[in-house]
Amino acid sequence: MSITSLSAPRFHRPEWATAPVILGAVIALFWVVTLLTVHWWTPYDPTMLAGMRFSPPTWENWLGTDALGRDVFSRSLYGVRQSLPIAIAVIGCAVLIGAVLGALAGYLGGLVDEIIMRAVDVTLSFPPILLAMAVTASLGPGLRNAAIAMVIVWWPIYARLMRAQVLAIREREHVEAAVASGAGPARVLFKHILPLCWSPIIVNATMDFGQIVLLAASLSFIGLGAVPPTPEWGQMISEGALHFYRWWIAAGPGLAILSIVLAFNFLGDGLRDILDPRSK
């Protein structure tokens, strides 16, 4: 054994920190930093002329230019300003609504349970994108309405999860002990049941985050989300589809979406290993 291996401080990589998890964290961090700083360092303004129309990638325009001569690279980076905040808001609202209703259903049971869970069943009977399309179309196109539609499509998933968790944990002995020692229903629910319910919801919400980004982009791609001059990934790919023989127009936004979906998939896997080591 050499001296160096004895004296060097040994870094213990935790078991969950696999290569995919680290990669996912790096990608997610990149996009968060981009979200906060993009206006300082992109080479061009995302809505202004930045060169010839349809220029293929060059040293001036790394990912070429689109039909209006705007820089695809800058626009792809700016797209994060639409997608990330929307996905955060949608996941936040869906988890909140779903968790509250799911907890009520699981804890109260009876008629409340029946009503909430039938609403869940009906909502989950639709293909997600079809329901999101129909809701957005009836609310009127636009990113805000698309976000509302996505919350409507997504909350039942968390309601189901939460209800199952509450049902399982309600039967545990420490809850029985709390009830026996005279704790009221609200105290039992908030102090003894809910704190133990969160890990599967956090894991699922992390994995779903990428799917929400994808769904938002799909709605914009269809033409129900972002309005044209805004740099938005789905919208940009839909412009790229009109000129599919110029591959670079859709390449930036496509890669951006793919990277986010993959990153949150990996992160969700890692979180599951941390929060619920038994699932391995």
Interface residues with another protein (CB under 8 A) are 117-118, 121-123, 125-131, 133-140, 160, 163-164, 210, 214, 217-218, 221-224, 234, 237-238, 240-241, 244-245, 247, 250, 253-254, 257-258, 261-262, 265
Cβ-based nearer residue to another protein, 124 or 183 = 124
The count of other CB atoms within 10 Å of the CB of residue 220 is: 29
Closest separation in Å from C-beta 58 to another protein: 19
The count of other CB atoms within 10 Å of the CB of residue 65 is: 28
Closest separation in Å from C-beta 180 to another protein: 25
Closest separation in Å from C-beta 121 to another protein: 6
Cβ-based nearer residue to another protein, 41 or 172 = 172
Closest separation in Å from C-beta 3 to another protein: 34
Closest separation in Å from C-beta 257 to another protein: 5
How does DSSP assign 150-175, residue by residue? Answer: HHHHHHHHHHHHHHHHHHHHHTSHHH
Nearby residues of 104 by Cβ (< 8 Å), 6 or more positions away: 112, 116
b/e map of 239-275 (b: 16 or more CB within 10 Å)? bbeeeeebebbbbbbbebbebbbebbbbbbbbbbbee
Closest separation in Å from C-beta 70 to another protein: 19
Cβ-based nearer residue to another protein, 36 or 114 = 114
Closest separation in Å from C-beta 238 to another protein: 8
Amino acid, res. 120: V
Nearby residues of 235 by Cβ (< 8 Å), 6 or more positions away: 220, 221, 225, 226, 228
Distance in angstroms (rounded) separating the CA atoms of residues 68 and 165: 52
Closest separation in Å from C-beta 221 to another protein: 5
Cβ-based nearer residue to another protein, 77 or 214 = 214
Cβ-based nearer residue to another protein, 94 or 117 = 117
Cβ-based nearer residue to another protein, 46 or 234 = 234
Q: Contact at 8 Å (CB) between 101 and 159?
A: yes
Cβ-based nearer residue to another protein, 134 or 178 = 134
Phi and psi at residue 240, to the nearest 5°: -65, -30
Cβ-based nearer residue to another protein, 74 or 238 = 238
